[in-house]
Amino acid sequence: MTSERTRRRMVDRLRENGISDEVILQAMNTIPRHLFIEEALASRAYDDVSLPIGSGQTISRPLTVARSCELARNRTSLTRVLEIGTGCGYQAAVLSQIANEVYSIERIGSLLGSARVRLRNLKCHNVRVKHADGSSGLESLFPLDAIIIAAGAVDLPEHLIELLAENGRLIVPLGKDKQFLTEVIKLGSGQELITHEEVSFVPFLSGVVVK
């Protein structure tokens, strides 16, 4: 269940479900998802489901990760990307395959520590992780080609949109009663919003948790 053949089957399902960017598909095929979850759940690592990773958090389903990355890349080269919500580190590892520089922040200290070890073991040397949240203090990262938020927001995080380069994209699960994967494109002093499929994420919270 953790073989390369199993991973290829996951990629085939992603392709069948509309992921067409071969760069994204290759990244998903390269990164071993089973290394980012508990050994007891390894048999489900390549199913299209979210799985618990502790501290009330989950690893997103492969289709959601692939879709978020595909929207962020938009079939262009990515120099600098920010991920908010490192979690177990899986999406950051996928992003390491498609961007030159990846910055990932996580508010829960225990999750960040484990993710840092996994990313180091996989030699994802272009990923930098930090114990923080997404509420402020990120101005030094401007300009960003893309931002992916792995948590559900009720309102658009305008302070993050300001960090985007022209035509940069913010990918965020947005909504109050229902969440929809939303693509925000920065255009001059304005923005364009494109709503995609319904998703389900833990809420976007401020503040940090030490353990």
Q: Would you kindly state where each structural domain of the chain is located, as residue ranges?
A: 63-199
CATH for 63-199, options being 3.40.50.150, 3.20.10.10, 3.20.20.70, 3.30.2010.10: 3.40.50.150
- Residues 27 and 66: their CA atoms lie apart, in Å, by 9
pLDDT digits (tens, 9 = 90+) for 65-97: 999 999 999 999 999 999 999 999 999 999 999
How confident is residue 189, by pLDDT bands cut at 50, 70 and 90?
Answer: confident
Q: Structure pTM?
A: 0.96
Q: State percent of the chain over pLDDT 90.
A: 90
Is a pLDDT exceeding 70 seen at residue 149? yes
Whether the Cβ atoms of residue 153 and residue 173 lie closer than 8 Å to each other: yes
- For residue 189, indicate whether it is catalytic: no
Q: What's the pLDDT at 2?
A: 61
What's the confidence (pLDDT) of residue 211? 67
> Is 185 within 8 Å of 166 (Cβ atoms)?
no
For 113, residues 6+ apart whose C-beta sits below 8 A from its C-beta are: none
Mean per-residue pLDDT, 167-174: 98
Convert the pLDDT of each residue in 110-146 to its tens digit.
Answer: 999 999 999 999 999 999 999 999 888 899 999 999 9
Q: How many residues does the chain have?
A: 211
User: Which is the catalytic residue, given 60, 68, 96, 104?
Assistant: 60
